[in-house]
Amino acid sequence: MRDTFIIISRSHPENLSSGREATTYRLATFLLLTSVFLYGASVPNLSLICLFPCLALIFFLKNKNVTVSFLLDASLVFLFAFLYYTMCVLFEITTEDDWLKSKMMFLIANMTIAYIIGYFLAQNYTNISVVLGVTVGGLFTYALLSTASYAMNHLGEVASNNYLIAERAVPSFWNGGTINGPIIGIYFSLSICLVSMIYSRINLLLKGCFLALAAASIFFNLMLQNRSPIYAGALAFSLATLMYITQMKLTHKKLVLLIILFCLMPLNLFFIDFSETKSLLENPFMDRLLSEGLDTPRYALWYKGLIGLFENPMGGAKTDFSPFDYAHNLWLDVGWYVGVIPMLLLLVIQLKHVPYLLSFLKKKPDQSYGVIGLSVSFLVAMMVEPTLIASYTYVTLFFFFIGYLKGFHLHADLAGKGERR
């Protein structure tokens, strides 16, 4: 797949012409990454402070290639954000209409700028481990501060409830507003799915950091009694393991070792003290997990949402989901709020970027494990939660992520052309 119909191009040599220019380039990259982290941590004002200098410093980025395809996709992102937020205000279907009116242009700009930043950053900074860590780190920090501070302030109550948060909601660390547990869960889910990074060719310290993030995220998701992030993590790890095995040069010794390990796994059952583990299973979360499994009331909500698209194609939040508030699906919620056209527009944007994801997996298989993890986490969250209604920050960072994939594809494509000359 080619994306090299370039209308604007400016590239520096790999060794920049002056020390001042090289320093400015590093500063621009650092500020972009810091801005992304702070935005994820729900500190938008500081994020903007870091971002504004980048608008001037972006001239010093080594590569700035603008293609027709990029302009089209960036325009689609802007159009989706514009339609979604303006129609939300016109329909007056939220409980925060005044806030939405005052922040509408800010929210529209956020999504578009995030996509553009991801695109240009990928052409100049290809350390995917750092980019993934920054993308996930801000959301993890915000979720950790909010959940841990609540748990510490209500330690006795939480401890008496088997270290579960019965309300499945915590106050925001910054403003005290209530955040539902499932939304905190999708923030933690990104970190859980980065457990797949253990297969990447990175140093042990970085692997340990990603494992620590995943372990902490699993713990807090269990406290909040969230199931879908655990399922997403298991799926991401399984896909990464499958990819790792298919890339292994399986000698006879490695194959025999894998078979032996697989056969030995059931023997662990003989060393488990089931009388001790029984108490661990006797809590509300495990009761819910074992009794419901993959069953969820979302199935009925999705059916209502699909029917509602035909009954009310222009949106307006007219479908009744009671006793729930939403369809708990990104695309159905967008269609329910603002109609079929913005919903299809969002779907087109996402489908247009699937080839860039596949291109990354093909060209950088050793660096693809984290990308697989984040992709699975985003997909599962968007399938089962009202992500855009509940967290514009989360969806904005998704646009940053797909913008990065597009920019990386162009960078790799141009590099390949240069090597062939």
CB atoms within 10 A of CB 274: 8
R_g over Cα of the chain: 23
Q: Using CA atoms, how far apart are residues 340 and 352, in angstroms rounded to an integer?
A: 18
Ramachandran sector of residue 293 (left: φ over 0; alpha: ψ -120 to 50; beta: rest): left
Q: How far apart are CA 108 and CA 342, in angstroms?
A: 14
Length of the chain equals 421
Contact 126, 95 (CB under 8 A): no
Would you give the DSSP letter of residue 58? G
How far, in Å, CA of 421 to CA of 417, rounded? 7
Contacts 24+ apart (CB under 8 A), 245-249: 247/365
Give the pLDDT mean for 259-279: 52
Q: Are 327 and 336 in contact (CB under 8 A)?
A: yes
Per-residue pLDDT at 359 exceeds 60: yes
Please report which confidence band the pLDDT of residue 280 belongs to, taking 50, 70 and 90 as the band edges.
very low
Q: What is the pLDDT of the chain when averaged over all its residues?
A: 81
Q: State how far the Cα of 44 lies from the Cα of 50, in Å rounded to an integer.
A: 10
Q: At what angle do helices 392-420 and 68-91 cross, to 10 degrees?
A: 170
> Which two three-digit tokens encode residue 273?
């003290």
Q: Are 80 and 121 in contact (CB under 8 A)?
A: no
Is the pLDDT at 111 greater than 50? The verdict is yes
- Most distant CA pair in the chain: distance in Å? 69
Domain boundaries, the chain: 1-16+62-125+304-369+384-421, 127-292
| CA dihedral of residues 337, 330, 285, 224 (deg, nearest 10) | -80
Distance of CA 296 to the CA centre of its chain: 23
388's tokens:
């855009």
Encode 299-338 in three state secondary structure: HHHHHHHHHHHHHCCCCCCCCCCCCCCCCCCHHHHHHHHH
Cβ contact 374:194 at 8 Å: yes
Q: Is the dihedral of CA 285, 291, 293, 299 positive or negative?
A: negative
Q: Which residue has the tokens 């005044």?
A: 98
Residue 243 has pLDDT above 60, yes or no: yes
The structure tokens listed for 340 are 């079929």
Return the structure tokens found at 223: 């406290």
User: Mean pLDDT highest for which of 11-15, 325-329, 410-414?
Assistant: 325-329
Sequence-ordered strand ranges (E) for 112-221? 169-171, 178-180
Predicted confidence (pLDDT) at residue 386 exceeds the cutoff of 80: yes
d(CA 96, CA 136): 27
Q: Is pLDDT above 80 for 303? A: yes
pLDDT computed for residue 272 by the predictor: 44
**Which pLDDT does position 387 carry in this prediction?**
92
Q: Judging by DSSP bridges, how do beta strands 66-67 and 169-171 pair with one another?
A: unpaired
Close Cβ partners of 164 (under 8 Å, ≥ 6 residues apart): 158, 222, 223, 224, 225, 283, 284, 285
What are the angstrom distances between the C-alpha of 88 and each of 92, 130, 165, 335, 394? 6, 36, 33, 11, 18
- Neighbour tally for 290: CB within 10 Å: 9
The residue with greater pLDDT, 323 or 82, is 82
State how far the Cα of 184 lies from the Cα of 201, in Å rounded to an integer.
30
* Of residues 329 and 167, more confidently modeled: 329
Q: Reply yes or no on whether the pLDDT at 278 is more than 50.
A: no
Question: Tokens 């980019």 label which residue?
Answer: 131
- State pLDDT tens for residues 214-229: 999 999 998 888 888 9
Please spell the DSSP secondary structure of 247-265, one letter per residue. HS---HHHHHHHHHHHHHG
Query: What is the DSSP secondary structure assignment for residue 3, as one 8-state letter?
Result: -
CA 335, CA 323: separation in Å to the nearest integer? 19
- Identify the bridge partners of residue 11 per DSSP, sorted by sequence position: 63
Given a cut of 90, is residue 377 above it in pLDDT?
yes
More confident: 286 or 345 = 345
Q: Is the peptide bond before 44 cis (omega within 30 degrees of 0)?
A: no
| Type and span of the H or E element at 7 | strand 6-8
